[in-house]
Amino acid sequence: MTRLTGTVLRLTVLVGENDTFRHRPLYSEIVHRAHAAGLAGASVFRGVEGFGASSLVHTSRLLSLSEDLPVAVVVVDTEERVRAFLPELDALVTEGLILLDHCEVVRHARGAPGGEAR
């Protein structure tokens, strides 16, 4: 596992939960490609409410339950490695938003197996 230190680049891809690529959830395809590319890490976060270019509000509230909630895929690694991954997204993300921002790593540590402190 690559240990990150100092300034890194955070890639955030905002898409819909129902967006797909070749019959697979788009967020899952992005995570698996980031893993195959050897990036330091990726996580998917499901939103509870949001809207995008369509201006249609999607929400998880019971009375207006949406089946296409917003999803954020967040990838963090060195700037060089994240920018090298961007062409992968060109073929995948046809609708959505791709953001890049610089961040400072405060701690990048792997927990012990079973959640025990070392």
**1, 40 Cβ separation under 8 angstroms:** yes
Write out pLDDT tens, residues 40-96.
999 999 987 766 666 666 665 555 555 678 899 999 999 999 999 999 999 899 999
Strand, coil or helix: what is 110? coil
Structural domains in the chain? 6-104 (3.30.70.120)
Structure tokens at 11: 């890639």
Dist. CA 53–CA 98, nearest whole Å: 13
Write out pLDDT tens, residues 89-101.
998 999 999 999 9
Amino acid type, 90: D
